[in-house]
Homo-oligomer: A and B are copies of this chain.
């Protein structure tokens, strides 16, 4: 008989939370009782799991000592408000919000730095990085022994689903209004999102950087264990429902051996390499899939020490929910 675990999912009605519950079922995760939790607005809703509808309860009323592991898939404020209660009750925490400092809850991508989990003390606290950092880490990890990366420049064109269901609805509504030549009334976004690109996702700080960009940089450095890596990141909001697409330019210490890079990516877990000439897209390839798609692997036009690539992955699934469940699969071995 397999041992089972009592699992809590906070933010269970959100895009990531709901996908996370689906993946727990798909992967036959050894769930005993599943506690679905959310803020008071969503409490009372229900989410399907193993053929039953599980009722969503208020996180504020939950006794975390009932759970052995909790996924925090709501925003940073919810993590900051309730993760300490979980930890105090001895419940392992997997945070997807980026709210916890790396020293307290190290960001982990199983394909890149699973060994970090072995060094954790109970009660475990670990972070599942932002989708862009996860995507990048999965692809850069297998190249670590092969190329000496001096600098990473990345433009992450992000799907609106990163901002939740309201953002998805608003892109659809704005698009329909424009196609029907009705006046556009932005609501969730502060301007036209349909057939447009927004230069930033969230408010920038005094130096001009958004939280998402800083999170990408810090998490990537932490996961790859390269604290001094130079990273330039711009997160752009694209009129795409699901699936992030990244253009990545790496500056290397020496000319790149493209054949070796292709072989390493082919052999690595979590990556699907698309052959030269063709390329993957969010909608056509990545959405609903468990891998990061990589394509357009090429050196610079006349700089052999430049390595460029195009990456696309399901931001909700591969970039968030699946990574968190994979972390849980590794952590429960140490909860036994």
Q: Which residues of A contact B (CB under 8 A)?
A: 151, 153, 155, 157, 171-172, 175-176, 179, 191-192, 195-200, 203-204, 207-209, 213-214, 217, 230-234, 236, 238-241, 243, 245, 247, 249, 251, 276-277, 279-284, 295-301, 303, 306, 308, 310, 312
List chain B residues, Cβ under 8 A from A233: 301
Q: Do the beta carbons of A232 and B306 come within 8 Å of each other?
A: yes
Q: Is the CB of B234 within 8 A of A247?
A: yes
Do B155 and A296 touch (CB < 8 A)?
no
Inter-chain contact B195/A283, CB cutoff 8 Å: yes
- Residues on B with C-beta less than 8 A from A282 are 196-197
A232, B176: Cβ atoms under 8 Å?
no
**A231 & B281 in contact (Cβ 8 Å cutoff):** no
A157-B236, A239-B240 known; A298+B199 contact, CB < 8 A? no
Considering residues A153, A171, A191, A236, which has the most beta carbons from chain B within 10 angstroms of its beta carbon? Answer: A153
**Which residues of B sit under 8 angstroms from A280, Cβ to Cβ?**
199
Q: Would B310 and A234 count as touching, CB distance under 8 A?
A: yes
Within 8 Å by CB of A230, from B155, B297, B303, lies B303
Q: Is the CB of B232 within 8 A of A199?
A: no
**Could you say which residues of chain B place their CB within 8 Å of the CB of A213?**
301
